[in-house]
Every structure is written in structure tokens, then in C-alpha cells.
Amino acid sequence: MHLDEHEKAGLALRSAKNLVTDLEGVEVEMVVHADGVEGLRAGGPNTDLMGLLAGHGVRFVVYEDTLRSRSLSEKDFPGYGEVVGSAIVELIVKQAGGWYYIRS
């Protein structure tokens, strides 16, 4: 899943919850950059749902340049987040590996 808008974070997380609830064995990765990072910060309104999803194996991947441009670090996100060098590369690699692309 691709999240780049703060306003859509809740919707994206609920969609991810539907996927892991309704499709047994599905793998979900949420690639987050730009304004999307604001909706997934530690202590925010989505932290509990993110924790639930992480418990179901959902991966949260944040783009390093977005963090740098906003003076943020991994510490600003729950401990189950992961930082990657490039969101676009992560998305392309996943799609080349057979993953479906869902834009939130």
C-alpha cells in the first residue's frame, strides 16, 4: 500500500486491517512518504491500530528523504517502522516481485 497523504492515513490503516482480517496469509506493506508520515507518528491517533496491524505482520516502511526533509527520525515512529532509502524503489521492487499496488 502507498500512503502519501496525512488525511488518508486512517482510511489506509482500516483498509490494511480489512486485508489481514479477510484474507488469510496475506502480506501487507505500507510504504509511507511525504505528508503520509504525519498520520503514522508515534503517539498519534493511529498508533493503536498500527500496533494491532504490526501484530498481524503488516510492515510500515518510511522513506528516508521524507524523514530528513521534515527533521524527523525513526524515533518519531512506533518501533515496528522501517526506514528505506527510496519509496519509489521499494514500490518498484515489490511490484516486480508480484505484489499488488494499492494507493491510499
Chunked mean pLDDT (size 10), the chain, 104 residues: 94 96 94 91 92 94 91 86 84 90 85
Q: How far apart are CA 93 and CA 104, in angstroms?
A: 19
Sign of the C-alpha dihedral computed for residues 97, 103, 80 and 27 taken in this order: negative
Place of cell 502480506: 27
Q: Where are the domains of the chain?
A: 2-96
pLDDT at 8: 95
Q: Which of 38, 34, 40 is closest to 16 using CA atoms?
A: 40
Sign of the C-alpha dihedral computed for residues 37, 40, 42 and 43 taken in this order: positive
pLDDT at 74: 86
pLDDT at 88: 84
pLDDT at 97: 94
Domain 2-96 architecture: 3-Layer(aba) Sandwich (3.40)
pTM above 0.85, yes or no: yes
pLDDT at 29: 93
